[in-house]
Amino acid sequence: MIRLSPAELPSWCKCGLHKLTMLVSDSTWTHLRIPFFFLLSPVYFFSWSQVVTGEWSWFEAALIFVLPHFLLYPAANGYNSYFDKDEGSIGILEKPPTVTDELYWTTWALEGIAVLVGAVLLNSSFLATALLGVVFSKAYSHPAVRIKAYPILSWILVPVVQGYCSILGITGALLSSSTGYQDMRIHLAGILTTLQLLAFYPMGQVYQHDEDRKRGDMTISLVLGVRGTFKLAWCCAAVANAGFLLYFVTYYKNYGTVCLALLGSLVPPTVYAWGWSRRVWADEKAADFKGTMKLFWLGAMCNNLFYMWLTYFTYMYE
C-alpha cells in the first residue's frame, strides 16, 4: 500500500487540508469518525448492484455515495458522541477525546449541507431518506427520546433505517424514479440487508457494557450478555446469508457463479468470527474493542469486494 507523508503532498493539497482542518478542532475531527463510513458502505454497493442495468448517471451515483458517507454518517457519529460523552472505546476510537460544543454545531452544519445539496442536485427519494436519517440520528441519541436506551426498539429500528430504508432510498435516488418502490426485488434486498445488520448491530455494543450501564442505556447486548450477543449475531447472520443465497437463486440467471462468490466472501469473516467466539467462550474479556473492530473491518472489506464484483457481473452478464 502506498502511503504519503504530509511533506510529500502537493503544495495545493497541503494548503487545502490546512484550511479545512483549521475550521474545527482535532477533537471534533476525531469524533466525526469519517473512516467509519467504510463499515457502512456495503449497503450502498449492494444497492447499486441491484439497479446497475437501469438508467443512472455517474455524477448522481458519486454524489449519492459522498453525501451520506462523508457528511451524514460522520454527523450522526459526532451527534451520538456528544451526548454519550464516552470515556471508553467506541466505534473505531479506542481512546476518544473529550467532546465540546463545537462538535454539536458541526454535526448540524454537515447535515444541513448534505440535505441542501441533495435537495438541489438529487431527487425526492434521496432527500426523504436523508431527512429520515437526520431525524432518526437525533432521536437515537438525544436524552429526550434516546432510542438507544431501549434494547429491542433500538435493535430493530437501527437495522431497519440503515438497511431497508437506505436500500429503498439509494436505489430510488440512483434510478431518479419511484420504480424501485414497486419492485419486490428491491424490498427483499432491503429486508436481507436489515437481517444482516441485526447481526452486526449488537456486536458493536458487546465491549461497551460498562459505559452503557453507567449511562443507563439498556442495550440489547447488555440484556443478553456477552455470550447471548454472540449467539444472536450467529443466528441472524445465518438467516441473512441463507436469504441472500435464495435471493440470488431466484433473481439471477447465473446464480451458481454469484452464490459461489458470496460463499467465498463469507469465508474470511466467518473463520475469524468462529475463532474469536471460541476465545470469548474461554474468557469473556476477549469480547473487546480490538476483536470487534477486526471483525467489522474484515466483514466490510469482504462485503464491499463482493458487492463491487456483483455490480460488474450484473452489468456485464445479467
- Owner of C-alpha cell 469473556: 284
Distance CA 311, CA 189 (A): 14
pLDDT of residue 25: 84
Q: Report residue 94: phi and psi, to 5°.
A: -75, -35
DSSP secondary structure letters along 62-82:
HHHHHHIIIIIHHHHHHHHHH
pLDDT of residue 88: 67
Q: What is the pLDDT of residues 196-208, one digit of tens each?
A: 999 999 999 999 9
**How do the domains of the chain map onto residue ranges?**
28-81+95-317
Q: What is the pLDDT of residues 249-261, one digit of tens each?
A: 999 999 999 999 9
pLDDT of residue 19: 44
Distance CA 294, CA 272 (A): 9
